[in-house]
Amino acid sequence: MLRVLLFEDNADLAESLAELMKGTDDIRMVAHYGNAQRAEKHVAHHRPDVVLMDIDMPVENGLQGLRAIRAGESGVLVLMFTVMEDNENVFQAICHGASGYLLKQTAPEMILEGIREAMGGGAPMTPSIARKVLTLFAQPFKNSEDLQKLTAREHDVLALLVRGHSYKMAAAQLDIGVETLRFHIKNIYAKLHVNSKSEAVAKALRNRMV
């Protein structure tokens, strides 16, 4: 039986999903929380196979929850389950280790199939999100010389960001202070001609630097 932990602030939707899973022979919801606060502790307590994570929630949102779960290194699969399909949220979710990205308007049977697909080693995505990801990451990187301008330390910083590290985690990994890390990130943004972490990560991924 596949164990699913849900983070979703819409109680009616959460109840509907629980009933949907009860109608299967292989999937059950083990618990539901209305925000992502203490997400990593809830994962450790319930030991789910898959987490369904909304993004837009009060107190702590789904991207914060995703980062916390990944920082805990539990290895649990996290599927984003949201109405948000803008580039920024898609990038942030993928770059912080989401195992898939499903929109809430996805047909119920496809949600169940997405959970099964993730457990089978796949990366389920609603078709519109898959097209968006392919378009964003398949674009040729036209200014690869920009990445060549990075120092060895800046390259290390960017590589950790690509792998989903928070600023605090990256600083600890490199044995430097967070302010020093921010200084390197500012230089990375300037050299890559970007204004956000997701843009920098996207350029790195397009150029396959990691």
The two beta strands, 100-103 and 77-82, are parallel
Query: With 90 as the cut, is the pLDDT of residue 130 above it?
Result: no
pLDDT at 138: 58
Q: What confidence tens digit (pLDDT) does each residue in 158-198 have?
A: 888 877 677 888 899 899 999 999 999 999 999 988 887 77
Whether pLDDT at 23 is above 50: yes
The pLDDT > 90 percentage for the chain reads: 58
Higher pLDDT, 133 or 136: 133
Does CATH place domain 2-137 in 3.90.1150.10?
Answer: no
> Own/partner pairs for 194-201, CB < 8 Å, 24+ apart?
196/88, 197/92, 197/95, 197/161, 198/87, 198/88, 198/91, 198/92, 198/95, 199/91, 200/158, 200/161, 201/91, 201/95, 201/158, 201/161, 201/162
Closest by CA to 204, choosing from 123, 94, 112, is 94
Region 45-53: what's the mean pLDDT?
A: 97
**pLDDT, position 115:** 96
Q: Spell out a b/e string for 177-191, using b for 16 or more CB atoms within 10 Å of the CB, else e.
A: eeeebeebbebbeeb
Average pLDDT over residues 146-166: 84
Backbone phi, psi, residue 60, to 5°: -135, 130
Q: pLDDT band for 145, please (50, 70, 90 cuts).
A: confident
Residue 210: predicted pLDDT: 47
Of 39-43, 69-73, 138-142, 167-171, least confident by mean pLDDT is 138-142
pLDDT at 95: 75
Which of residues 194 and 82 earns the better pLDDT score? 82
In the chain, what are the domain boundaries? 2-137, 145-206
User: How does the average pLDDT of the chain come out, rounded?
Assistant: 88
Domain 145-206, architecture per CATH: Orthogonal Bundle (1.10)
Nearest to 195 by CA among 104, 105, 53, 88: 88
Q: Using the predicted structure, report yes or no on whether residue 142 has a pLDDT greater than 60.
A: no
How confident is the model at residue 144, as a pLDDT?
Answer: 60
Mean pLDDT of 85-111: 87
Output the pLDDT for position 204. 80
Q: In this predicted structure, what is the pLDDT of residue 40? A: 95
Better-scored residue on pLDDT, 165 or 25: 25
